[in-house]
Amino acid sequence: MKKTKKVVITGAGGFVGHHLVSFLKKKGYWVRGVDIKHPEYKSTDADEFLKLDLREKKNALKATEGMDHVYALAADMGGMGFISKNHATILYNNATINLNTIEAARINKVGRYFYSSSACIYPEYRQIKSKLKPLKEEDAFPAQPQDAYGWEKLVTEILAKYYHEEHGLETRIARFHNIFGPYGTWDGGREKAPAAICRKVAIAKLTGKKEIEIWGDGKQTRSFCYIDDCLNGIYKLMMSDFREPLNIGQDRMVTIDQLVDIVSKTAGVNFKKKHIPGPQGVRGRNSDNTKLRETLKWEPEISLEEGLARTYQWIEEQVKTKNKN
């Protein structure tokens, strides 16, 4: 009889980790979730959920003990508002989490190790205009990420490469490009652009406001990838034999103003956009999916309109519930 594989997902109390638990459960894995907190919006499907702080090595050893695969998603992170103001905290917390987790995986002899890196590793000098060439994996060097968050992600990518070369750990590295969807942080300061815009539109719609505020001039660009595509990408990459970093994202670039227009259309209302000063991150960014298509024979499939419609619906419900309480 085939033995059920055991996997641990760190960051299982967070947005992507929580979804990944359910996704891997459906695939038949025994899943351990690890995080400093339980998922905020829905209970976990994990077989076991351990509340552990991975900045402690003994906790990382507990987290990875007896596991066949590790999906390392835990990170101290948030949207631009958070990332642009907490450099030392983010660098310290994420470096200790990642050093401990990969070393514990080596000690516990896990078979495979997935690391969630980010498009934030790409150099700022390639992202200074809103219209630009999509970013290829090899564009990462010479390195100049904008924030400590991106520097740490890049160093951990290199750490994973050396753990493979020196210790034979089977590592897989994905560079996520703006993942969004339901059951993600939507208020409180750590939310990212799609969730923040859905919340602002929902509040304006429900209170009859005619205007919504947007950080910056609205012409900054990004691509956005729906969570279900991200989960498929993670799994396909983990099952592949590809050890280099790989973009996981959509390659349709839109301005933040266009993102607001799509959400407004979904909500069935029209607003005046008020552009106010605020952290914006790099000026423009898009994913080049050439290597993704070649390697996994796949690319994200869910349209921005479809993904935002599902996300908006969930956030509007959250706003209504919060207002009732």
Q: Which residues bind ligand NAD (CB under 6 A)?
A: 11, 13-17, 35-37, 53-55, 73-77, 93, 97, 116, 118, 176, 178-179, 185, 192
Q: How far is the CB of 20 from ligand NAD (least distance, A)?
A: 9
**Residue pair 171/116 in contact by the 8 Å Cβ criterion:** no
**Residue pair 304/198 in contact by the 8 Å Cβ criterion:** no
Q: How far is the CB of 104 from ligand NAD (least distance, A)?
A: 12
**Closest-approach residue to ligand NAD (CB):** 14
Q: Does the active-site annotation cover 125?
A: no
**Residue pair 176/225 in contact by the 8 Å Cβ criterion:** yes
Which of residues 120 and 204 has its CB atom nearest to ligand NAD in the complex? 120
Which of residues 209 and 310 has its CB atom nearest to ligand NAD in the complex? 310
| Residue showing tokens 């000063």 | 277
In whole angstroms, give the CA distance from residue 269 to residue 212.
12
Which of residues 147 and 205 has its CB atom nearest to ligand NAD in the complex? 147
Nearest to 32 by CA among 79, 78, 73, 64: 64
**Residue pair 63/92 in contact by the 8 Å Cβ criterion:** no
- Candidates 149, 183, 226, 312; catalytic one: 149
Strands 221-223 and 253-255, how do they pair? antiparallel
Which of residues 115 and 163 has its CB atom nearest to ligand NAD in the complex? 115
Q: How far is the CB of 167 from ligand NAD (least distance, A)?
A: 22
| Residue showing tokens 């060097």 | 141
Q: How far is the CB of 107 from ligand NAD (least distance, A)?
A: 18
Positions annotated as catalytic residues are 149
